[in-house]
């Protein structure tokens, strides 16, 4: 948020739910919205739209170090995950995922396999949020594993997966590797020439592009027959029919380019702000702890448990900070976070957890205001809770 709005607006610390659009993406999207043209038409206007899409594809490919022809634009990461899992399952069978995947992976895998035992393996994670490599190796060596889908960074805790050894084991066992990199892209550098995955999903609105647009990367040569979810005019090399969302795609491309230029400066700044937030809250509120604290995490994310402090009551008493209880992605679901439960938290502890996620526009002033507000709110809710359970 711009410094001028300090004090007027709630502090926005929910970048993992959605990030504010980057100015470059906003302008590019607006310009594309003002133009007319279907990217499939061969006249001047159509060619103009197609060339904007081509440019966006190159901008995203440059960010990820892949080839533009390896990218399929979708309506977001949910669709990209569906496309990857459904294609692999239709083609080959057994799917392995982790217990902390986003519902866009977990529920897709469950629906596809009809919860049939043997068709889907959901791997546990350790208390730090990481998969045990030995358990993983044993699972992929099962006969006929088609696909492993392991996220690159978790949306609730920011915990980063050490994917290289897992991908190596999966490939050695003949499986394809998909990663949901929705929370990773735009937060840390990602080089697909060096990351041994066959497919990768991403979403523009997590890194400053518009909502409702994302992409699936499918590495050239991946032995996966085309498997569209939507049939029609054969757009996106037959993988995804439907008139392209030109303004959305153009906004995604502009956000990708802005990230490529600015990420180097953003990472240390955001890390410092996150550490300030985390350090102050832990110091001021004894008993609180960070989930995944000893694991490699994304720079801007912290998941903090304030024991005995229900997150819904907490958020209600701190309206001038926009944070999240568990994951905003599981819209409206009142159940405790499956991610935190999988990491070994009790139901009560999971229900007493807030996620703060910072990003490219977060300021120190905002973080300091969030610290003071959260401290007051936790103290208030704990006082109320103590009074209600008191003698």
182, 245, 291, 309: which one binds ligand PMP (CB under 6 A)? 182
Applying CB under 6 A, does 357 fall inside the site for ligand PMP?
no
With CA atoms as reference, report the closest residue to 216 among 201, 227, 230, 195.
Answer: 201
Q: How many CA atoms lie within 13 A of 111 on its CB side?
A: 10
70, 180, 257, 278: which one binds ligand PMP (CB under 6 A)? 180
Applying CB under 6 A, does 179 fall inside the site for ligand PMP?
no
Applying CB under 6 A, does 378 fall inside the site for ligand PMP?
no
Q: Which of these segments, 175-183, 187-195, 265-273, 294-302, binds ligand PMP (CB under 6 A)?
A: 175-183
Tokens coding 89: 């399952």
Query: Residue 147: in which H helix or E strand, if any?
Result: strand 147-149
Applying CB under 6 A, does 305 fall inside the site for ligand PMP?
no
Applying CB under 6 A, does 329 fall inside the site for ligand PMP?
yes
Applying CB under 6 A, does 148 fall inside the site for ligand PMP?
no
Applying CB under 6 A, does 78 fall inside the site for ligand PMP?
yes
Q: Shortest Cβ contact with ligand PMP: which residue?
A: 76
Tokens coding 273: 């702000």
Q: Integer distance in angstroms from the first to the last C-alpha of the chain?
A: 45
Q: Is 128 helix (H, G, I), strand (E, B) or coil?
A: coil
25, 39, 66, 77: which one binds ligand PMP (CB under 6 A)? 77
With CA atoms as reference, report the closest residue to 22 among 51, 54, 63, 50.
Answer: 63
d(CA 103, CA 100): 9
Applying CB under 6 A, does 151 fall inside the site for ligand PMP?
yes
Applying CB under 6 A, does 85 fall inside the site for ligand PMP?
no
Residue 44 beta carbon to ligand PMP: minimum distance, rounded to whole angstroms: 32
Strands 95-98 and 147-149: parallel
Closest to ligand PMP by CB, 326 or 336: 326
Applying CB under 6 A, does 203 fall inside the site for ligand PMP?
yes
What's the burial of 386, exposed, middle or buried (CB within 10 Å: 0-12/13-18/19+)?
exposed
Residue 252 beta carbon to ligand PMP: minimum distance, rounded to whole angstroms: 11
Cβ 200 vs Cβ 70: under 8 Å: no
Phi, psi (degrees; rounded to nearest 5) at 201: -105, 145
Residue 298 beta carbon to ligand PMP: minimum distance, rounded to whole angstroms: 11
Closest to ligand PMP by CB, 104 or 200: 104
Tokens coding 78: 């949910």
Q: Is 329 a catalytic residue?
A: yes
Return the active site residues: 329
Contacts with ligand PMP, residue ranges (CB under 6 A): 76-78, 102, 104, 151, 155, 180, 182-183, 203, 214, 329
């Amino acid at each position: 948020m711009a410094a001028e709005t300090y004090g007027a607006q709630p502090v926005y610390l929910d970048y993992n739910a959605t990030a504010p659009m980057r100015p470059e993406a906003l302008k590019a999207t607006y310009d594309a919205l003002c133009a007319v043209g279907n990217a499939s038409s061969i006249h001047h206007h159509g060619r103009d739209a197609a060339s904007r899409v081509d440019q966006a594809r190159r901008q995203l490919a440059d960010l990820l170090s892949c080839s533009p022809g390896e990218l399929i634009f979708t309506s977001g990461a949910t669709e990209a995950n569906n496309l990857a899992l459904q294609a692999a399952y239709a083609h080959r069978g057994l799917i392995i995922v982790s217990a902390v995947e986003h519902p866009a992976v977990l529920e897709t895998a469950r629906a596809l396999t009809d919860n049939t035992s043997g068709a889907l393996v959901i791997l546990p994670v350790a208390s730090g949020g990481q998969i045990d490599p030995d358990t993983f190796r044993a699972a992929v060596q099962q006969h006929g594993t088609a696909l492993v889908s392991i996220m690159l960074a978790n949306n609730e805790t920011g915990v980063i997966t050490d994917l290289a050894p897992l991908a190596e084991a999966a490939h050695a066992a003949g499986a394809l590797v998909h990663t949901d990199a929705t929370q990773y892209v735009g937060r840390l550098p990602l080089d697909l020439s060096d990351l041994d995955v066959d497919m990768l999903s991403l979403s523009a609105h997590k890194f400053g592009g518009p909502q409702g647009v994302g992409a699936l990367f499918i590495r050239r040569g991946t032995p996966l027959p085309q498997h569209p979810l939507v049939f029609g005019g054969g757009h996106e090399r037959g993988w995804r029919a439907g008139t392209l969302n030109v303004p959305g795609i153009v906004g995604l491309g502009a956000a990708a380019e802005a990230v490529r230029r600015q990420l180097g400066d953003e990472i240390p700044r955001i890390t410092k702000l996150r550490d300030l937030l985390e350090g102050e809250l832990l110091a001021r509120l004894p008993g609180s702890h960070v989930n995944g604290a000893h694991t490699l995490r994304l720079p801007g994310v912290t998941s903090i448990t304030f024991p005995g402090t229900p997150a819904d009551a907490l958020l209600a008493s701190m309206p001038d900070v926009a944070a999240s209880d568990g994951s905003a992605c599981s819209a409206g679901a009142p159940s405790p976070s499956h991610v935190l439960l999988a990491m070994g938290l009790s139901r009560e502890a999971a229900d007493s957890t807030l996620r703060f996620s910072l990003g490219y526009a977060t300021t120190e002033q905002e973080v300091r205001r969030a610290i003071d507000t959260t401290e007051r709110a936790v103290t208030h809710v704990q006082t109320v809770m103590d009074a209600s359970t008191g003698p």
